[in-house]
Structure 1
Amino acid sequence: MIQYSLKCADGHSFDSWFQSAAAFDKLAAAGMVSCAVCGGSRVEKAVMAPRVRPGRTAVSAVGEPEPQAAAPAVPAPVPAAVAAGRREPGMLSRPSGEVEKAIAELRRKVEENSEYVGGRFVQEARAMHLGEAPERAIHGEAKLEDARELIEDGVPVMPLPFRPGRKSN
């Protein structure tokens, strides 16, 4: 896993975890990396300092071993999903700002209190509106044109400020 500092075209900064550098490049090229604040898909790596520890026997310019202060080995913070064994590309690290915290809380509540229907969202929402399916809280994915049609037909829907979590094998 690798953590990148990222920024969007609107200047929002955030951190995200990826399986590898190649995984970031692939996801970013496909437009699947989005800003944690505004949801924009124009995201790039920000300038960041790598976490590098000096070697055990660092040598000075004159060839003598340099004395090293005993630095405690502090592991990098790991997102809860990683600690739980779930590897999701583009996982966000801990929310840093008030907006990110509010979005994280909204996401938690939506996922706890509604059913994820994925790409069947439009069909499920329409069926509930027409009384053909039992009413329940759902969330999923829809194309922009399909979401507009639902709104024009009077189906109460709204976009969420985050992408649904992808389930892996």
Structure 2
Amino acid sequence: MKVLDLQCRQGHVFEGWFGSEDDFQSQRQRGLVQCPLCADEHIEKRLSAPRLNLGAREPMAASASPTTTHTPAISRGAIDGAGVLPPVLQAAWLALARKVVANTEDVGARFAQEARLMHHGEVEERAIRGQATPDEAVQLLEEGIAVMPLPLPVAAKETLQ
């Protein structure tokens, strides 16, 4: 089994598991390897370190505190100059997008209409998502209907194989 670090043209980094190098190349040529965030099929391998299992680790030194943890901080500097999120943030964004998809109803192009019906009490309120033009979104906001643009990656809408 080969575990590869992969990257699309947008700079999204993700991991792929393949039976062999030939398997990776074959799937890539057939368009089966896509970025889970943007569905880009132009995928390149990145340098990756092999995992070597060389045995058990040494016991932790007595002076090291087992309760000490390091939580990474997120700042404006967490996004590189090309506007690319680090892999941990990409994974968090994808998890959030999947949660939104799983807990909302896709009403498609009827979004503005459905939002108005709910706002006026004509249909039961529920969590919806869909598409609205910029003009429709502005009109909804002017009417006091809370909406928020949320670009969802294609991979959030389907189960990964």
Using the size of structure 1 for normalisation, the TM-score is 0.46
* Structure with the larger RCO, 1 or 2 (CA within 8 Å, 6+ apart): 2
